[in-house]
Amino acid sequence: MTVDLTHDEILRYSRHLLIPEVGLDGQRKLKASSALVIGTGGLGSPVALYLAAAGVGRLGLVDFDVVDSTNLQRQVIHGTSTVGKLKVESAKARLNDLNPTIQVDTYNEPFTSENAMQIAADYDILIDGTDNFPTRYLSNDVCVFLGKPNVYGSIYRFDGQVSVFAAKDGPCYRCLFPEPPPPGLVPSCAEGGVLGVLPGTVGTIQATEALKVLLGIGSPLIGKLLLYNALDMSFDFVNLRKNPHCRVCGPNADIKELIDYNAFCGVPGRNHEEGSAGEGWDIEAQALAERLREPTPPLLLDVREPHELQISWLPNAINIPLGSLAARLSELDSAREMVVFCKGGTRSARALQLLVSAGFKKVKNLKGGINAWAQEVDPEMPVY
């Protein structure tokens, strides 16, 4: 497809047009191209900002979260004025301001096996800026199945990794990491922390690689993994090769369609009915009542806000509101069985995801929350 640049665009992109490797033809290519950015957090922020500024004609943003003030230390696409707003809307507003000539499509939903192929089919390239293993495996497999390059970036504290996976004849993410680590072995940024500028460096490199792939210039990181360490200021490269045993892109691949990535990574999923944490992760109120009569009952963790405890409470429950749970995990004994609850089971399901990601194995969600307890076990207790 050939597209023309307007006079305004020629002026806007003049510093690109002066580079022989880009020029008018390259800038037209960018305008005709599209990129899907998975996640608008630490990595997605610089990726989306630079791709928009560079004039990639259509950007898709996938995120289901809302901006909170702890994001702003690194998620520079958002701002104080957008705290509490949907991340995709906050990001879109910033991108529209930066470059009103491009189109920004938003997907305010988690990227899942149900929607991923359909969303991704419409884009030339995917950029993986997610913050969890299930979505990373999902993004990879989508790219392999659709034959689209996956610009991978990942961070931890001071370390970053970048590669271009699933390019034609190149290795994929699973060639390097056939299996995820067990939940809890690798802390997330929410638990382990991250230097705020780190995703800036790594995401900017991802944006660079995406532009190179879209323009067809230079040597993208296909078959190479960049290992960046901010403390040492080291950039090391290792070779990656296609893994002949790869289950999605190898000659004997046995994974031919998207799978349940949460189950694959051993973590509870996000897609489940209201008040439930998903199959195998719930305990009913009646069952909990029986467990609490045993000699070694499970620990109760109440993730509601303190003022809700005035309405209803369970004896001996520890109260850590969901918002401060990540920072207070050390107060909990991961060896002990634990039941998490809130008002209706939704916040506690999120708490359970966090706990399992942090390595807690013996943890269940009180299905339907303390309101279910009030209805099924203790009629004296108010429902709210």
Partner 1 sequence: MATLRIPTPLRVYTGGQTEIPVGGATVSDALQDLVARHPAIKPHLFKDSGELRPFVNLFKGDENINVLQGLQTPLTENDSLRIIPSIAGG
Can you give the binding site for partner 1, defined by CB under 8 A? 39, 41-44, 128-133, 136, 153-159, 161, 176-181, 185-189, 192, 194, 199, 225, 227, 229, 232, 236-241, 243
Nearer to partner 1, 129 or 368 (CB): 129
Minimum CB distance to partner 1, residue 155 (Å):
4
Residue 338 and residue 320: Cα distance in Å, rounded?
13
Q: Which of 143, 175, 246, 342 is catalytic?
A: 342
Tokens of 212: 């190179």
Residue 105 and residue 95: Cα distance in Å, rounded?
11
Please report the beta strands in the chain, taking only residues with DSSP state E, as ranges in sequence order: 34-38, 58-62, 103-107, 125-128, 150-156, 159-165, 224-229, 234-239, 282-283, 299-302, 318-319, 338-341, 363-366
Residue 48 burial by Cβ neighbours in a 10 Å radius (0-12, 13-18, 19+): buried
Nearer to partner 1, 203 or 298 (CB): 203
Nearer to partner 1, 136 or 364 (CB): 136
Tokens of 204: 């900017």
Is 342 labeled as catalytic in the residue annotation? Answer: yes
Nearer to partner 1, 222 or 339 (CB): 222
Concatenate the DSSP letters of all residues of 264-285 into one string.
HTT---S-S-TT---TTSEE-H
Minimum CB distance to partner 1, residue 148 (Å):
19
Q: Which of 143, 172, 189, 249 is catalytic?
A: 189
Residue 249 and residue 175: Cα distance in Å, rounded?
8
Tokens of 116: 């991923």
Minimum CB distance to partner 1, residue 62 (Å):
12
Nearer to partner 1, 188 or 319 (CB): 188
Minimum CB distance to partner 1, residue 42 (Å):
6
Please report the beta strands in 7-158, taking only residues with DSSP state E, as ranges in sequence order: 34-38, 58-62, 103-107, 125-128, 150-156
Minimum CB distance to partner 1, residue 264 (Å):
12
Is 246 labeled as catalytic in the residue annotation? Answer: no
- Residues recognised as catalytic: 189, 342
